[in-house]
C-alpha cells in the first residue's frame, strides 16, 4: 500500500474535473483506495474509484472500477473493505459514532460535529469495528434509503449475536418524512430544508422507530414481486394487481385541498407515476381504473373492488403537495420563489416539500415530453440564438418566449398580449415558430394547432401559464375559429377564462393564466377576422399585434441576415434542424436566474429596472401624439426588449448589449409603418372603409360629373351605368401632376358608406388623414356644391389622397 495520499490535483486531467475526493484508510492510517465525485453533463454526481498501482511504467494513483478497487484492497487488507474514516474511528475509541451511507455526506456531518466520528458504510463494508460502539445510523431520505439503513442496523445486530459482543447501542436518526428521495447532507444544504444537524443527532431513536415503513398497509394486503395480493380470512391469496407498485406519498391538491395518493410503478423499464385523488375512488363516473389501465397497471376485472378498497385505506408517512397549475408556486410565495414546469419539473427554491403536477384529465407525461430539453444551453446559444442575432423577427420571438414568467413578477407594469407574424408562404414563418418554441421545449410538440373551441384554448392557456402559448398557422379559410379569434385574444390577454356552472348552484372555479402568445399566418389578423364576418377593433390590435413577416429591404424574406449561410434556404433548413436538436434549455436557465434575482433584490427592484427600460423604449420609438393604443403596444414591446437585455445579463442569451432593444424596436416600427398612421384603430378603420368603398365602386356608384352635366344640357350620347348613386367623381390633377379623381359624396351617400361606424367620426378621421377638403369657414366638414340634377347641396369632398391614406389594406381591390 502507498504512503502518498491522492489529491484532486492528481486528476485535473479529467473533464469534467472531479469536485471532491474521499480516501479510505486502514486502521494504521495508510491510504487504501479513494472515491472521486465527478459531475456528468446534467450535473449529477457519479462515483469514480481510484487505486494505487503501476501504470505506464510508473507507480501512481489511477482510475479503476469500484469492484477493481475492492479487489485490490481485499488482497492487501486481509479480505476486508474498511469503513470510511476507519482510522479516525480507531484513534478516538470513546467518541460517539454517526454512520452515514455516503462519503460526502459523512464529510459534511463530520464538519458540523467535531466531537463525533462520522463514518460511511457501503454494501461490502466490514462493520465489525462498529459493534462495541454507540452508533446512530443516518439514512438517506425516502423508502429506499430507509430500507438500506434497516439493513445496516440488522447487519450490526447479526454480527453482535455472532460474535457475542454486548457493548454499544444502535439507534437511528429520525428524518422528516417529506424530504426528497435520496436526500442526505451531501445533496443540498441542510439549512435550506430547515434541518439543524447538531439538534437532529441529539435526538436518536430506536431503529424500528427511525426506520419505520413508509407505507402503512391495510389488513390483509401485501405487496409482492408479482403485484398486490389480498389474503382473506380463509388464508387464500387473491391477486389484486399483476403489477407491483409503490405508494410513494400522501398528497393534496394545493388549490383545493383534495387528498390523494401518489403511486409509482415500472412499465417496460420506464418509471410511471399517477396521482389518485381519493374522491375519485367512490365517485360516480370516475375514470380512475381506466386511467390506471391506460398507464399499464394490470389488474383483473374480478378484483377491482379489492383494488379500490386498498386505495381507500392505505396510508403513507410521506407527504407531497400537488398542484394542478403550472408556473409560479403560489404557496411558496416570493420569499422562496419556485416555478413548476408542465409535467411537474421544479425550478428553483429549496425546501422540504416536494411538488408534483397533477391535473384532472391531463396527460402529465405528455405535457412533460413537450417541454423536454435536448442538448446544452451553450449548444442552443451557438446554433440558434447566435444565428438569430441581427434578425429582428427572430429576436422578437425569443424575447416574447421569455416574457411570460415576468407577468406575475412585474404585476401591473405589463399587460399580457401577443404577436401575429403574417406574410406569404416561403418567407420563413416556420423558422420563426421553430426558434420561438425552442426556448422552452420540442418545436414539433409545443406548437398548438389553431383548431378548436374557446374552452379548448382556455385550457391550453392554463397548461402553458407563465411559459407562453405558441400557435400554428392561422388559416384564412377556417371561418369557425377565425370568427371566435377576437374573443379568444381578449380572453388570453385578460388572463381569465369564462364563467361556468358547476353540478350544483355554485359556479366552477374560473381558470386563470399568465401568458404571452404568438401565431403565424399568410394574412393580417384584420383580414382574417373581417373575412369571417367579425370586426377588427382597436382592442384586438392592442392585444395582438400583426407584424409583417417580410423585412423591408431584405432579399431573404423574414431573415434580415443569413450570416454565413450560402442561401436563405440553407439558413432556414439549418435553423430548423438545430432547433430540433437543441431546445428546452434557455427558458429553464432564464427562470432559474430570475429566481436568484428575485431572492437577492426583490420584485420592486426588478420592476424599477423595467420601468426605466419602458420609458427609454417609448422615448426612442413612439411618435409624438400617438394614440393611446400605440403606447399600450409600445409598452409591451418595451418589455420584450427589456427581457432580452435581462436574459443577456443572466447569460441566457449570447447577444451584444442593445441587440434585443434594436431588434424589437425594428419590429415595432414595421408595425407603425404598416398600420396606417398613429391615430386610433377605429379612425384608421374608418379611413380604410372609405378608401375601400371608393376603390371598389368608383365607376359604379359615383357619377362622372362632367358627363352628367353634358347629358343635362341635351347630349343624348351619354348612358350612365351608375346605380344607387352616392355621389360624383371629377377628374383632377394631384400635386405631383398625376391623373386622379376627387369625389363629392352626398350626406345620405356618406351614411351608407359608413354603415356600421360613426359617420361624423369617420369624416374627422378622413380629414385627419389629409383626404377630406374642409369648408373655409364653419365647424362642419361638408361643403355646398352645385351638382347635376340635385342643385346646390352639401357634400363631403374627398381628395385623391384617400387612395394612399390609412396605410395598406391587404385585400384592397379595384372594380373595373
Is the sign of the CA dihedral 162, 165, 169, 175 positive or negative? negative
Among candidate residues 404, 368, 366, 397, the one with its CA nearest the CA of residue 492: 404
The C-alpha atoms of residue 362 and residue 341 are separated, in whole angstroms, by: 14
Maximum distance among all Cα pairs of the chain, rounded to whole angstroms: 138
Q: What is the DSSP letter of 805?
A: T
Q: Is the dihedral of CA 599, 602, 603, 606 positive or negative?
A: negative
Helices 586-601 and 628-650 sit at what angle, rounded to 10 degrees?
90
pLDDT value at residue 43:
76
Report how far residue 73's alpha carbon sits from residue 51's, in angstroms, rounded to the nearest whole number.
9
| Cell numbers given for 409 | 413578477
CATH 3.40.50 in the chain, residues?
377-674
Instruction: Please compute the mean of the pLDDT values over residues 31-57 and round it to a whole number.
Output: 88
**Is pLDDT at 587 greater than 90 in this prediction?**
yes
What cell does 504 get?
350544483
Give the pairing type, strands 544-548 and 517-521: unpaired
pLDDT at 709 over 90: no
Q: Which of 496-500, 583-587, 661-665 comes out lowest in average pLDDT?
A: 496-500
Mean pLDDT along residues 32-44? 88
Q: What is the mean pLDDT of the chain?
A: 89
Neighbours of 347 (CB within 10 A): 19
159 pLDDT band, cuts 50/70/90, is very high
Whether the pLDDT of residue 502 is over 60: the answer is no
Q: Residue 16: is the preceding peptide bond cis (ω within 30°)?
A: yes
The C-alpha cell that represents 155 in the structure block: 447487519
**For residue 279, pLDDT beyond 80:** yes
The pLDDT-based confidence of 763 (bands split at 50, 70, 90) is very high
Q: E strand or H helix at 143, and its extent?
A: helix 143-163
More confident call, 594 vs 449? 594
Q: How far is CA 714 from CA 43, 65, 704, 718, 728, in A?
A: 96, 113, 16, 10, 19
Distance spanning both ends of the chain, measured CA to CA: 101
Crossing angle of helices 429-438 and 392-401, in 10° steps, is 30
Q: Which CATH number fits domain 377-674: 1.10.1200, 3.40.50, 3.30.160, 2.40.30?
A: 3.40.50
Q: What is the mean pLDDT of residues 637-647?
A: 97
- Residue-level pLDDT at 476: 61
The residue to which cell 446544452 is assigned: 376
* pLDDT at residue 349, as a whole number: 64
Stretch(es) of the chain classified as CATH 3.40.1360.10: 8-210
Task: State the average pLDDT over residues 136-145.
Answer: 92
Mean pLDDT (whole number) for 684-692: 89
Q: Which residues contact 335 (CB under 8 A, 6 or more apart)?
A: none
Reported confidence tier of residue 772, pLDDT bands at 50, 70, 90: very high
On the question of pLDDT at 656 being above 90, the answer is yes
Which residue, chain included where needed, has cell 479513494?
34
Q: Where are the beta strands (DSSP E) in 739-812?
A: 739-746, 772-773, 783-787, 791-798
Query: Which pLDDT tens digit goes with each residue over 344-395?
Result: 788 886 554 567 777 767 777 788 889 999 999 999 999 999 999 999 999 9
Q: Which residues of 239-270 are buried (b: 16+ CB within 10 A; e: fewer)?
A: bbbebebbbbbbbbbbeeebebbbbebeeeee
C-alpha cell at 149: 439503513
Coil vs helix vs strand at 536: coil
Task: Say how many residues make up the chain.
Answer: 816
**Cell 359556479 belongs to residue:** 507
What does the pLDDT average to over 441-454? 85
What is the percentage of the chain residues whose pLDDT exceeds 70?
93
The pTM assigned to this predicted structure is: 0.73
Q: CA–CA separation, 151 vs 46, rounded Å?
A: 23
**CATH dotted code for 8-210:** 3.40.1360.10
3-state DSSP call for residue 324?
Answer: coil
Amino acid at each position: 500500500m502507498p504512503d502518498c495520499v491522492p489529491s484532486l490535483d492528481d486528476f485535473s486531467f479529467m473533464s469534467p474535473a472531479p469536485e471532491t475526493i474521499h480516501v479510505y484508510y486502514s486502521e494504521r492510517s495508510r491510504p487504501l483506495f479513494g472515491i472521486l465525485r465527478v459531475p456528468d453533463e446534467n450535473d449529477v454526481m457519479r462515483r469514480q474509484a481510484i487505486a494505487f498501482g503501476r501504470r505506464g511504467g510508473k507507480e501512481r494513483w489511477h482510475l479503476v472500477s469500484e469492484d477493481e478497487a475492492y479487489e485490490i484492497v481485499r488482497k492487501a487488507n486481509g479480505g476486508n473493505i474498511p469503513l470510511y474514516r476507519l482510522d479516525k474511528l480507531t484513534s478516538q475509541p470513546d467518541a460517539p459514532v454517526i454512520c452515514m451511507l455516503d462519503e460526502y455526506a459523512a464529510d459534511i456531518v463530520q464538519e458540523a460535529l467535531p466531537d463525533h466520528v462520522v463514518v460511511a458504510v457501503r454494501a461490502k463494508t466490514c462493520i465489525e469495528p462498529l459493534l462495541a460502539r454507540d452508533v446512530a445510523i443516518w439514512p438517506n431520505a425516502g423508502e429506499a434509503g430507509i430500507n438500506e439503513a434497516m439493513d445496516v442496523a440488522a447487519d450490526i445486530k447479526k454480527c453482535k449475536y455472532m460474535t457475542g459482543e454486548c457493548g454499544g447501542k444502535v439507534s437511528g436518526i429520525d428524518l422528516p418524512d417529506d424530504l426528497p428521495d435520496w436526500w442526505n447532507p451531501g445533496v443540498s444544504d441542510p439549512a435550506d430544508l430547515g434541518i439543524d444537524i447538531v439538534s437532529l443527532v441529539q435526538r436518536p431513536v430506536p431503529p424500528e422507530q427511525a426506520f419505520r415503513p413508509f407505507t402503512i398497509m391495510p389488513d390483509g394486503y401485501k405487496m409482492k414481486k408479482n403485484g398486490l395480493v389480498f389474503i382473506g380470512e380463509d388464508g387464500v391469496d387473491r391477486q389484486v394487481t399483476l403489477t407491483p407498485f409503490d405508494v410513494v406519498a400522501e398528497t393534496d391538491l394545493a388549490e383545493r385541498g383534495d387528498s390523494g395518493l401518489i403511486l409509482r410503478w415500472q412499465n417496460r423499464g420506464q418509471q410511471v407515476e399517477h396521482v389518485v385523488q381519493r374522491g375519485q375512488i367512490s365517485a360516480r363516473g370516475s375514470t380512475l381504473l381506466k386511467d390506471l389501465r391506460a398507464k399499464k397497471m394490470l389488474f383483473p376485472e374480478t378484483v377491482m373492488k379489492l383494488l379500490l378498497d386498498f386505495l381507500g385505506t392505505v396510508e403513507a408517512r410521506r407527504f407531497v403537495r400537488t398542484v394542478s397549475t403550472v408556473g409560479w408556486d403560489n404557496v411558496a410565495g416570493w420569499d422562496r420563489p419556485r416555478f413548476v414546469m408542465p409535467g411537474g419539473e421544479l425550478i428553483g427554491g429549496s425546501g422540504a416539500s416536494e411538488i408534483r403536477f397533477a391535473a384532472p384529465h391531463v396527460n402529465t407525461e405528455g405535457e412533460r415530453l413537450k417541454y423536454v430539453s435536448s442538448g446544452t444551453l451553450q449548444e442552443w446559444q451557438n446554433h440558434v440564438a447566435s444565428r438569430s442575432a441581427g434578425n429582428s423577427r427572430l429576436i422578437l420571438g425569443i424575447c416574447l418566449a421569455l416574457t411570460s414568467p415576468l407577468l406575475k413578477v412585474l404585476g401591473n407594469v405589463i399587460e399580457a398580449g401577443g404577436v401575429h407574424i403574417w406574410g406569404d408562404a416561403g418567407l420563413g414563418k416556420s423558422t420563426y415558430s421553430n426558434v420561438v418554441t425552442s426556448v422552452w421545449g420540442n418545436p414539433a410538440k409545443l406548437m398548438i394547432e389553431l383548431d378548436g373551441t374557446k374552452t379548448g384554448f382556455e385550457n391550453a392557456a392554463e397548461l402553458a401559464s407563465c411559459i407562453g402559448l405558441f400557435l400554428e398557422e392561422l388559416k384564412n379559410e377556417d371561418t369557425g375559429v377565425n370568427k371566435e379569434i377576437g374573443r379568444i385574444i381578449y380572453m388570453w390577454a385578460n388572463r381569465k377564462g369564462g364563467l361556468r356552472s358547476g353540478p350544483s348552484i355554485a359556479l366552477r372555479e374560473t381558470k386563470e393564466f399568465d401568458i404571452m402568445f404568438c401565431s403565424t399566418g399568410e394574412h393580417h389578423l384584420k383580414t382574417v377576422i373581417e373575412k369571417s364576418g367579425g370586426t377588427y377593433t382597436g382592442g384586438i390590435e392592442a392585444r395582438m399585434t400583426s407584424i409583417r413577416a417580410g423585412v423591408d429591404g431584405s432579399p431573404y424574406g423574414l431573415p434580415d441576415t443569413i450570416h454565413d449561410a450560402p442561401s436563405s434556404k440553407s439558413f432556414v433548413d439549418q435553423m430548423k434542424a438545430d432547433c430540433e436538436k437543441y431546445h428546452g434549455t434557455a427558458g429553464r436557465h432564464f427562470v432559474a436566474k430570475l429566481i436568484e434575482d428575485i431572492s437577492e433584490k426583490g420584485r420592486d427592484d426588478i420592476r424599477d429596472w423595467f420601468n426605466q427600460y419602458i420609458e427609454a423604449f417609448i422615448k426612442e420609438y413612439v411618435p409624438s401624439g400617438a394614440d393611446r393604443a400605440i403606447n399600450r403596444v409600445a409598452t409591451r414591446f418595451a418589455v420584450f426588449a427589456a427581457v432580452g437585455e435581462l436574459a443577456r445579463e443572466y447569460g441566457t442569451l449570447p447577444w451584444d448589449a442593445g441587440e434585443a432593444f434594436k431588434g424589437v424596436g425594428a419590429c415595432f416600427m414595421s408595425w407603425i409603418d404598416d398600420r396606417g398612421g398613429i391615430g386610433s384603430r377605429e379612425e384608421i378603420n374608418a379611413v380604410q372603409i372609405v378608401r375601400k368603398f371608393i376603390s371598389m365602386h368608383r365607376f359604379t356608384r359615383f357619377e362622372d360629373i362632367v358627363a352628367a352635366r353634358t347629358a343635362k344640357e341635351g347630349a343624348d350620347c351619354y348612358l350612365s351605368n351608375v346605380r344607387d348613386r352616392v355621389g360624383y367623381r371629377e377628374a383632377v390633377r394631384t400635386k405631383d401632376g398625376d391623373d386622379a379623381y376627387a369625389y363629392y359624396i352626398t350626406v345620405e351617400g356618406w351614411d351608407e358608406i359608413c354603415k356600421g361606424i360613426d359617420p361624423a367620426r369617420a369624416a374627422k378621421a378622413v380629414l385627419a388623414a389629409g383626404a377630406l377638403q374642409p369648408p373655409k369657414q364653419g365647424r362642419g366638414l361638408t361643403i355646398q356644391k352645385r351638382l347635376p340634377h340635385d342643385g346646390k347641396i352639401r357634400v363631403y369632398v374627398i381628395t385623391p389622397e384617400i387612395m394612399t391614406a390609412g396605410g395598406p389594406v391587404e385585400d384592397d381591390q379595384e372594380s373595373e
